[in-house]
Amino acid sequence: MSIKITQPQLKHAEKAGLFAILVVLIVLLYPSGDKFKYQFEIGKPWSYGLITASFDFPIYKNDQQIGKEKEEILQDYTPFYKLDTAVMNHQLKKLYSDLQKKGEGSSRIPNYIKNKFKSIYSVGIISVDEYNKLINDKRGNISCILPNRVTHAMPLANVYTARTAYEEIINDAPATLKSYDINLYLSENLKYDSITSEMAKNDLLKNLSLTSGMIQSGERIIDRGEIVTPGIYQVLHSLKIESEKRNSSLQQSSIVVIGEIVMILGLITLLFLYLYLFRPRIYESISNLIFILLLIFMIVGLTSVTINFTTLNYYMVPFALLPIIIRVFFDSRTALFAHIITVLIISFMVDNAFQFIVIQIAIGMAAVSSLKDMSQRSQLAQTALYIFMSYFVMYLAFECISEGDVLRINWQHIFYFGVSSAFLLFAYVLIYLFEKIFNLVSSVTLVELTNINSDLMMEFSERAPGTFQHSLQVSNLATEAAKKINANSLLVRTGALYHDIGKMRHPEYFIENQMGGKNPLTECDFEEASKIVINHVTDGVEIAKKSHLPEQIINFIGTHHGFGKTKYFYNSYINANPDKKPDEAVFTYPGPLPNNKETAILMMADAVEARSRSLTEYTDESIDEMVESMIDGQIAEGAFKEAPISFRDVETVKSVFKEKIKNIYHNRIKYPEINKKKC
């Protein structure tokens, strides 16, 4: 039995695969399971829950205690030095040789010098640096190793340096010996033996205990709000050491990884379901999903790198970038939902998860609230300021609750918040890049495109002034309707301005540009005239692409007539040729149909505005009838079957159009003339 996979199922599988890839990548970014999950300082309140020992562990001494005990033990330590007795004989031979070169015999060397050399070299001459080091280390004795490996202790005061040895010889020497340059023959023969010295030191330190007691399993350690005293700090530090040792085992790491996978999978699944159930337009687009998942991965990745590979504080990461960028391209609810999911994922990486979650959720709310409609670049700077203020207030409030004393607040965090907020100023660069990479369009771009003083709009108004005015009227109608049904009014406004831009190619064929002159279409047959009119759609798409307009705007150009017919020429052809079947394709626009609320609104606004110009009289009844018949006709032809617009939305749009058109064509008061009195 074979199972046939349908195209929709395949698409769902592809999207689920994207979310699964994100789960795997985030698990790889998670810190290793051997990291201790708590942060603590002496004198600070414990901001976590009750901690009890889950296993027996020793209390490790701190570095200060260990250092002090080492000093006490090493008071009896003496470093070892090797005595080289061959140096004396070598120096005496050198002295004999120098005397012979001068023509003096060895018999001329007094016995005094020989005896002094023997007594000094038998004790040992040490370097000045070694001697000073021993003095600084307060070593009163050294252990001297003789050539036969016999060792004896010797007071440091008895040891010579080259200078003291020279003074020893010269001070008591006869006057006749002053001519000898004894310095040339005094050399160090007492050398430090590092190997033996270290062995002796380690033997002494073997009995040093690194622990000072035990904590039994189940024993209470600390609870929330209690101050971390030096003693409790020592216990917590010991717990950290033992926990990291235990968690480094394969079994513990496997359990941790399984927990991470389940937790991350659950959170990402919630995001998947949210987009599938409540944001189908985002869910249906693979590029939109990749964009959102990439943003989440980017923020989690930055946090992971900051925690694992730098000494920077993780609060310097610009977490608010995610809700800001998603809000610019989509909606505030999606931005906040994605931000909360990301914050919950990251909370398992940081030390104080509760504080992190509270502060970051507040920051996300501040970000989406301050960017309700981003239409200027300066709004990013304002948003960065609001976010910094939110950081400042929320952190101080949280610290006041947990610390209970302003003097205990760690003010360095304010600097971290400032750095994080400053990074938000680079959001505009990222927005521009994401626009180009993922074919998205931001509110800032739409505002720039609505500038009627741009080169393209100026050319449009000059070449096809009537069509340009028609586009402005359609833009006003569509914008008001979009606001009433919670569609993207800025997108509708922009799309409406450009929807008829193809008429620039041949403006003379369209009645709004003829200024009451002769219509050249009357000289063409119906099929040719229909083709000319239809071409304004394909011409508009071509001009838009050449002008590098976003795909979302080009979509308005292609869909504003859908698969409708040029009814004037189609009906005229049938009337003129009752016995001949018309070629439907010749009289049909290329489409496609409107595929979202915004393009559906534009189709309705375009038809109603054009039809309103042909009314013979402008009464409430004629306007209402015109709006109803035009839109109901479009519905009957299936023009909106691919657009997610409800009947309630359509009725709201109708009422907006009726009101606006009545305001445009309202009856004006006839001003009375002044009666001329006869003189």
Within 407-461, strands assigned E span none
For the segment 298-331, what is each residue's pLDDT rounded down to a tens digit?
999 999 999 888 888 899 999 999 999 999 898 8
Instruction: Name which of 647, 658, 655, 650 is nearest 618 in CA terms.
Output: 658
**Domains plus CATH for the chain?**
71-205 (no CATH), 251-438 (no CATH), 443-664 (1.10.3210)
Q: Please check whether residue 501 is in contact with residue 544, taking contact to mean a CB–CB distance below 8 angstroms.
A: yes
What's the confidence (pLDDT) of residue 676? 61
For the segment 524-541, what is each residue's pLDDT rounded down to a tens digit?
899 999 999 999 999 999
d(CA 126, CA 160): 6
For the segment 486-522, what is each residue's pLDDT rounded down to a tens digit?
898 999 999 999 999 999 999 999 988 887 667 888 8
**What residue spans of 193-320 are helical by DSSP H?**
194-205, 230-247, 250-278, 280-283, 286-309
For the segment 185-195, what is each residue's pLDDT rounded down to a tens digit?
888 989 999 89
d(CA 261, CA 240): 24
What is the pLDDT averaged over residues 633-645? Answer: 93
Average pLDDT score, the chain: 87
What's the confidence (pLDDT) of residue 208? 84
Number of H helices, E strands in the chain: 27, 8
The helix (run of H) or strand (run of E) holding residue 151 is strand 151-155
b/e string for 108-118 if b means 16 or more Cβ within 10 A?
ebeeebeebbe
pLDDT at 4 over 70: no
What is the pLDDT averaged over residues 238-265? Answer: 76
d(CA 542, CA 552): 14
Q: Please check whether residue 312 is in contact with residue 306, taking contact to mean a CB–CB distance below 8 angstroms.
A: yes
What's the confidence (pLDDT) of residue 176? 57
At residue 109 the predicted structure's pLDDT band, cuts being 50, 70 and 90, is low
d(CA 595, CA 607): 17
Q: Please check whether residue 531 is in contact with residue 586, taking contact to mean a CB–CB distance below 8 angstroms.
A: yes
What's the confidence (pLDDT) of residue 444? 82
d(CA 118, CA 169): 11
**Cα dihedral angle (443, 448, 449, 454), rounded to 10 degrees?**
180
What's the confidence (pLDDT) of residue 177? 60
Instruction: Name which of 400, 343, 397 is nearest 367 in CA terms.
Output: 343
pLDDT at 292 over 50: yes
DSSP per-residue codes, 325-381: HHHHHS-HHHHHHHHHHHHHHHHTTSS-HHHHHHHHHHHHHHHHHHTSS--STHHHH
At residue 633 the predicted structure's pLDDT band, cuts being 50, 70 and 90, is very high
What is the pLDDT averaged over residues 581-597? Answer: 92
**What residue spans of 76-193 are helical by DSSP H?**
86-101, 111-123, 128-136, 162-171
What's the confidence (pLDDT) of residue 365? 95
What's the confidence (pLDDT) of residue 318? 96
For the segment 442-479, what is each residue's pLDDT rounded down to a tens digit?
888 898 899 999 999 999 999 999 999 999 999 999 99
